[in-house]
Amino acid sequence: MTRRQGFQAIAAAGTAALAAPPLFSAPDGGRLKQGVSLWTYQKWFDLDALCKEAVRIGLKGIDLVTPDQYATVKKYGLIPSMTSGSGPNTIPIGLNRLENHDKVLESVKRDITLAAEANVQNVITFSGNRKGMPDGEGLENCLIGLNKIKGYAEEKGVTVNLELLNSKVNHKDYMADHSAWGFELMKRVNSPKIKLLFDIYHMQIMEGDLIRNIRAGIDFIGHFHTGGNPGRNEIDDTQEVNWHAVAKAIADTGYQGFLSHEFIPVKTPPIRGLEQAFEICRV
């Protein structure tokens, strides 16, 4: 587990539960390409096993994989839908501080190069933590950093996605914690290959008003993550978001990227939650 080591709350599900018969096999995913984040299922499945389940369910991508895992994902006809960032390109150390630019951008450039060689479309980056810095100053510094890398991203045909995260529950002090801040940054960068990773779970915690914000900023969004709130568990009727309505609103914009599930399963067996998420977001 790399960037999400902070989430240690994965509940035990039991080995016997994994042997339960599947509920369905649904190859038609509707208008949205759906994926799953590898780290959320690593307790129960290795990459090969998760890829097999993804194909059976009807998912199209595996999120947050490293370049050495691309070949395994592709072997199953799936897409490595988002690269996992590597140090020092990490959540707390981002582009909002000028002194981080050289080392972070070197990491991002390496990710872009390897992604382009493998025909992978998305890599990840972060704003970094505030540490007392005003949001306006951080935005300007992120703009400087993204402007340095956007030409290379455009040349290689790879999208750099800066992730929006909550600073209330999971990532204290993280700067890119509201969609308006991210949309303004994207507006200023003005590149088809610099986008936001709009994590719906995180933005529900910080601001809600999901459908309105998604519609307003869809041109700036390159990727979506899901996760039930509260708890970041399955996106079922125990959660406060109407996920089918959100998925339909995203699809109605004509969005062509991925909607990838990044929730921690707590139900038995854990794969049921992924099957259910696929059905809920099949619009």
- How many other CB atoms sit within 10 Å of the CB of residue 77? 10
Position 28 scores a pLDDT of 77
Residue spans of the chain under pLDDT 50? 1-21
What is the pTM (predicted TM-score) of this model? 0.91
List, for residues 254-268, the tens digit of each pLDDT value. Answer: 999 999 999 999 988
Position 45 scores a pLDDT of 97
Position 22 scores a pLDDT of 52
**How far from 232 is each of 11, 204, 229, 275, CA to CA, in Å?**
12, 11, 5, 16
Position 29 scores a pLDDT of 77
Position 267 scores a pLDDT of 86
List, for residues 100-135, the tens digit of each pLDDT value. Answer: 999 999 999 999 999 999 999 999 999 999 999 999
**Token code pair at residue 43:** 């307790």
Q: In what order do the strands lie in the sheet with 79-83?
A: 79-83, 61-65, 33-37, 258-261, 221-226, 194-199, 159-164, 122-125
Position 48 scores a pLDDT of 98
Please say whether the beta carbons of 172 and 137 come within 8 A: no
Position 5 scores a pLDDT of 43
- The residue ranges of every structural domain in the chain are 32-280
Assign a CATH topology to domain 32-280.
TIM Barrel (3.20.20)
Position 58 scores a pLDDT of 97
